[in-house]
Structure 1
Amino acid sequence: MTEPPGPERRRFLRTLGALTGAVTLGTTAGCKSPGSDAAASGAAGAEFGGRTITSAAVLPKPFTVPLPIPPVKRPSRSTSGTDYYDVTAREASVEILPGLRTTIMGYDGIFPGPTIAARRGRRTVLRYRNQLGVPTVVHLHGGHTPPESDGFPTDLVLPATGGARFADQAVGGTATTGTRDYTYPLDQRAATLWYHDHRMGFTGPQVWRGLAGFLLLTDDEEQALPLPRGDCDIPLMITDRAFDADGAFNYPSMDTHLSAMPGVDAAHMAGAAGDVVLVNGAPWPELEVDAARYRFRVLNASNARRYELALDPEPPSGTPFTQIGSDQGLLAAPLQHSVLPIAPAERFDVVVDFSRYPVGTRVTLTNRAGRGGTSRVMRFVVTRRAPDDSRIPARLSTVEALSTASARTRPWMFRKGKIANMGANTAGWVVNGREFDPRRVDAAPRLGEVEIWRLATDAYHPVHIHLSPFQVLSRNGGPIDPGDHGWKDTIDLRPKQYADVAIRFDDHAGRYLLHCHNLEHEDMAMMATFQTTR
């Protein structure tokens, strides 16, 4: 029998109940809110379900600041098989909008956090210190990770000072004070991974304030390919934010101190989005490029916003994007795209050939799902001719097709629904009709066995599954989307859609999550726990 929610969760549910009359969640039209980009966008599939927050700050003109590249973290110590990294979460005052200061929560005090460059088979230990005033949890998104290091949302790292007052928030989890070691075996394919906060009920505001960074994993197979590298291999973390007049982040938290009351205000329960697009923490930046091929590791780290990325102008010949990798590494063969739809937490590894443009061309990375400021992302300026010995092979990797001949099908429904213990009129975000309870296990798949998970939705829900990657088999019983190929860990599901994915959990027995990666949905109980068994 499931125990009743703890005191913090009960306070959250009471507030949710009080707000129910002010908001309708999860409409079949994609949860559009008045004033959302969705309402004005004519692009098919452009809705993302959230509401855009208007900044009060004076915003810079686009393409007036250079693209920053997150620094690569050096190990504090290495042994024959392990690299150790010391990372500290702390507040810092940084310049994001020119001339204004923004207080962030940052790994090592920067946003994005430092990039960890790792190699397959070398164990990575993240020695994490929390110098913030609130609990945190670190999740390596896409990591094939033991359960004790996966970042379960109530496995809290309490503040080094005054952390005892948050101890009761570790419901169904464990709490450490000040520090925690996260061990990542990284025995998995080369891929663009990222790490971010995963605290129950507060993931949205804590990622919004800056707790996100890249972990780039390579291996011998990838290194043997003649792909662009060095200065032509660039990670792009795309986020959207809104700012107060003084430069502070504007996020609609119920509790601006992030201490006790989870969730957002009624107007943003379907998802919070900003009117400023940041790339690697800079607003609408510009990058000078050679007339050569560039590899871009594109991550949508926004809370709720979907993007439809395109190049303007398109190259005079050929398609704009050659996709070489997905969430979980290299594709079997490259794919061509004119537009890249990308949902929160998805990654696309693409090559853009700027040699197709005349020197001096300004190429804008646009967002066809946005309007106004959110219709532009960044700009490239083709500055010079340069030698380029890179190429894109016709064959990139071997992608094992999972056999589903004897697989069981397990249904997961992501939808609006009633919140238990709150009465008949309380709406929220639920999985299979139940809100998240960190003490409940909803499924127990066996290690080594392939299952088909049917992920169904009422609205836009980017669904993420922890521990192991999956392969998309079909959408609504028909063909997969162009962006579904390869190994995935997050899938962009549209309203009234279902997708069948094949998944096999390996190696690690324990508790893991699947959840919506619209962070406002996640914070408002749209998660479920599964426990892998031997």
Structure 2
Amino acid sequence: MTEVITRPAVPSAGPTSGLTKFLDPLRVPPVLRPHLSWHQDELTVTMIRTEVRLHSQLPPTTVWAYDGHFPGPTIVVRRGRPLRITWTNGIEGKIPLVAVQAPIASAPQNTPGFRNPDGSLPAGVSLIEGVTDLPSWNVVHLHGARTGGGNDGWAHNSVLKDASQLAEYPNDQQATTLWYHDHAMAITRFNLHAGLAGVYLVRDEEEDALDLPSGEREVPLVISDRNLDTDSRGNLTGQLLYKVPYLTTPAGAALHLPFSGPFTLVNGVIWPRLDVEARWYRFRVVNASNSRFYQLRLVDDATGEPLDDAVRQIGTDGGLLPRPAALPAGGLTIAPAERADLLIDFSRLRGRHVRLTNGHRTAAPEPDIMQFRVEDRARHDRFELPEVLSPSYVRLHHGTTVPEDHDHIFVGLVPPGSGGEDHPQMWELQEITDPARIPATLPAPGIVQLTDPNTGQVRTFERVASLFDDTTSVFIDHERWAIWNFVHLGGPTHPMHVHLSQFQALTRSNLALDPATGAAAGFDVAVGGTTAPLPAPGPGRPLDPQEEGWKDTYQVSAGEWLTIAGRFDGATGNFMYHCHILDHEDEGMMRPFVVMPAQAARFHVHRFGGGHHHGEAAEGA
């Protein structure tokens, strides 16, 4: 149990709710390294209920945490050394959340508390039924890991208190920043919000040769957002508050928007500070928020002067970039679950206080994230930024590094309201090759016609699955390459995450949007289908240098057609892919896929044919 100190409650008025920014030092999670047992690297990590201080001016907050740390310990492993982890559920009691829904107009989500001063609920505000009854039912997913389906954190394989999940991670992948978090079916958003997340670092010889900043100058930055409850006087209590706004649809249903909170945390501390030497530092940034996007910028505390030129990105989700990359103009946008390996040269900022800020359009009322206080003295730093980071990096291109013989998977991301469903949806699409099966009258529910940008041919697809428990339709042969086509037909930007493999983006192209509906022009939202073949997409936004690296999570905006390529050679089993806005994931935007040996797949009888049932299809533009 964390030691607590009694302090007065804090009034909640204003963007900071009375909390002093940059008052508390950044907490750095402890490092956990495997120990050798019976010729096998092993660890045991226990989830427990504990109390932490999110800010020194707040009362303690009850959380669920790995080994009692929020975020969990940073696990460090070597490439090629398998690790077995026993993830033990030792959590007492029910989930430590108050979850409420509130009309967006009268009680926006970026304000703490939800009751009137007399304790009554404002009009339209209500508790989300059932959340306070949730037991500790948890399963750990090592996000970005190449590991078998039995170790991957299959959402239904969650365990209750006093049970354990046994997982083996081969660590047969290049040096990178992974992270582990809860993945329980339908309640991931609540379990992760309660505190279940941590960093997992893989190291290898290629990374060692760079002699990057290490020790106290290599710091994980787990960024997240939270909301807090208030008492009858409007003072913050420290109690985690999961408050989501809703809109009332024309049909009278409540359309919930994803959670977003007013308080930004780094390593479990609200608006912390870090004292740094005037040397290079390495920061392993993880966006562990439920839904918030961050547009990261470095600015001078006194003048607001942009200092992005002191920052270089050296890695993404899947490992090192081929060479250092400057931040994009306006800052680096990082979606939920994305990681960024950043170097900052503080020798250029001696004696200054600088802030890491969020300039994204969905930023909280207070855009600051944390502060760095740079010492005012010269330091000898033998580190020099290398020109080449990863000599082993190979850029993927269709037909060369991606062989001609590969699978195609088509996924439609459709806007709220499509076919009468209130929430955004994810449709698995199967091409109709028999013209007699194409409906004579369009639009028809679940029928999407696309124009192949390479051949100009019209291809007709049907929705074959949407919810997780629908028929499995994606089967990939082990060691086979697959190109995933995410076709966004309208709605919010989705960070799409595919388990097991690491990918490279091949193309981004754009479909025209109807300004009246925000959906792709030619997509009938009410029916949930295209009225006619959508025109071939035009050129999309160019890939940033960061997107040319290996990644497992991609931002897909309305109207975009994104193609990514990866090889499924790491393991076999049942896996998942989903939107990593956790509210969307839990509300249905998650689907399974299967990887199995081709020799076995030939004997597998299922609805949609063999491992390469998708065949050759459009690549995107």
Give the alignment's TM-score, normalised by structure 2.
0.68
Write the letter of the residue equivalent to 1:353.
Answer: D
Say if 1:404 and 1:450, in contact at 8 Å, map to a contact too.
Answer: no
1:503 corresponds to which letter in structure 2?
A: G
Does the alignment pair 1:301 with 2:301? no
Correspondence 1:452 to 2:483: yes
Matches within 5 A, 1:313-332: 313=300, 319-332=309-322
Deviation at 1:80, TM superposition (A): 7.4
Q: Which amino acid aligns with 1:293?
A: W
2: CA distance between counterparts of 1:316 and 1:196? Answer: 33
Shift of 1:361: 0.3
**Shift of the alpha carbon at 1:438?**
4.0
Q: Which of 206, 209, 212 matches 1:227?
A: 212
Query: Match for 1:442: what amino acid?
Result: S
Provide the rounded CA distance (Å) in 2 between the counterparts of 1:146 and 1:346: 22
The CA deviation at 1:449 is 2.1
Which residue of structure 2 lines up, in the alignment, with residue 155 of structure 1?
157
Give the alignment partner of residue 394 of structure 1, picking from 377, 387, 393.
Answer: 387
Gap change, CA 1:267 and 1:66, over 3 Å in 2: farther
Q: CA deviation at 1:271?
A: 1.2
Q: Which residue of 1 aligns with 2:195?
A: 210
Higher Cα radius of gyration: 2
User: How far apart are the structure 1 equivalents of 2:41 and 2:557?
Assistant: 40
Distance 2:353 2:573 in 1: 50
Deviations 1:130-186 (A, max 9, x none): 1223210100001001100000110111223xxxxxxxxxxxxxxxxx112111011
Instruction: Please identify, of 331-340 and 292-301, the stretch whose mean Cα deviation from structure 2 is larger.
Output: 331-340
When residues 408 and 73 of structure 1 are mapped into structure 2, their CA distance, relative to the original with a 3 A threshold, is closer
Residue identity opposite 2:422 in structure 1: A
- Residues 135 and 159 in structure 1, CA contact (< 8 A), matched pair in contact too: yes
Query: Cα deviation per residue 1:99-124 (whole Å; 9 max; x = unaligned)?
Result: 31111011112210111111111111
Partner SS, residue 343 of structure 2: strand
CA RMSD across the alignment: 2.4
State the shift of 1:439 in Å: 6.5
Cα offsets for 1:307-333 (capped at 9, x unmatched)? 100011388988132111110111111
Partner Cα separation in structure 2 for residue 327 and residue 210 of structure 1 = 21
What residue is the counterpart of 1:249 in the other structure?
240
Residue of structure 1 in register with 2:3 after alignment: none
Separation in 2 of the partners of 1:509 and 1:387?
A: 49
SS at match of 2:396: coil
Distance 1:58 1:355 in 2: 34
1:62 aligns with 2:21: yes
Q: Map of 1:22-101 to 2, 5 A cutoff?
A: 58-75=17-34, 77-79=35-37, 82-98=40-56, 99-101=58-60
Aligned to 2:357, what secondary structure does the other structure show? strand
Q: How does 1:180-191 map to 2 (within 5 A)?
A: 180-191=165-176
1:495 paired to 2:558? yes
Q: Which of 388-397 and 441-450 deviates more? A: 441-450
Q: What is the Cα deviation at residue 428 of structure 1?
A: 2.7
Letter of the structure 1 residue corresponding to residue 270 of structure 2: P
2:378 matched residue in structure 1:
385
Q: What count of residue pairs does the alignment treat as equivalent?
A: 448
Q: Which amino acid aligns with 2:484?
A: W
Structure 1 counterpart of 2:494, from 452, 455, 461: 461
Partner of 2:413: 414
- 1:368-390 deviations in Å (ceiling 9; x for gaps): 11556441100101113322111
Task: Using the TM superposition, give the Cα deviation of residue 533 of structure 1 relative to its aligned residue in structure 2, in angstroms.
Answer: 2.1
The reply on whether 1:346 has 2:338 as its aligned counterpart is yes
Contact map agreement 1:310 1:320 (CA 8 A) in 2: no
- Aligned residue for 1:363, secondary structure, equals strand
Q: Deviations over 1:375-416 (max 9, x none)?
A: 110010111332211122111112123353213432111224
Of all paired residues, the percent bearing the same amino acid is 38
Amino acid across the alignment from 1:203? T
> Which residue in the other structure is 2:223 paired with?
238
Question: Which residue does 1:269 correspond to in 2?
Answer: 256
Task: Give structure 1 stretches of 5+ with no counterpart.
Answer: 1-52, 161-177, 255-265
Asked if 1:522 corresponds to 2:581, the answer is no
The separation in 1 between residues aligned to 2:495 and 2:73, in whole angstroms, is 25
Task: Tell me which of 319, 329, 335 is aligned to 2:325.
Answer: 335
Q: Distance in 2 between matches of 1:472 and 1:521?
A: 23
Q: Which letter maps to 2:278?
A: A
* Aligned twin of 1:473: 506
Letter in 2 for 1:500: T
Whichever residue aligns with residue 139 of structure 1, its letter is H
| DSSP 3-state at the match of 1:250 | strand
- Contact 2:408 2:483 (8 Å CA) reproduced: yes
The structural deviation recorded for 1:234 is: 0.9
Cα distance per residue 1:1-44 (max 9 Å; x no partner):
xxxxxxxxxxxxxxxxxxxxxxxxxxxxxxxxxxxxxxxxxxxx
1:404 counterpart residue number? 398
Distance 1:252 1:267 in 2: 14
Would you say 1:363 and 2:363 are equivalent positions? no
Q: Aligned residue for 1:427?
A: 422
The alpha-carbon deviation at position 418 of structure 1 amounts to 7.0
Local SS of the residue matching 2:28: coil
User: In the alignment, does 2:83 pair up with 1:124?
Assistant: yes
The alpha-carbon deviation at position 451 of structure 1 amounts to 2.0
- Local SS of the residue matching 2:260: strand
Report the alpha carbon displacement of residue 435 of structure 1 after superposing the two structures with TM: 3.4
Alpha-carbon separation, structure 1, partners of 2:45 and 2:564: 35
Distance 1:354 1:300 in 2: 23
1:110-121 map, 5 Å: 110-121=69-80
CA drift at 1:354: 0.8
1-structure distance, mates of 2:65, 2:83: 20
1:197-238 C-alpha deviation (Å, 9 max, x unpaired): 000110011111100000111011101112211111111000
- Tell whether the 8 Å contact from 1:142 to 1:193 is kept in structure 2 after alignment: yes
Q: Post-superposition shift, 1:452?
A: 1.5
**Deviating 4+ runs (over 4 angstroms):** 53-59, 314-318, 370-373
Q: Is contact 1:95–1:101 with CA below 8 Å preserved after alignment? A: yes
Q: Normalising by structure 1, what TM-score?
A: 0.79
CA separation in 1, counterparts of 2:306 and 2:152?
45
Whole-angstrom CA distance in 2 between matches of 1:438 and 1:85: 33
SS at match of 1:128: strand
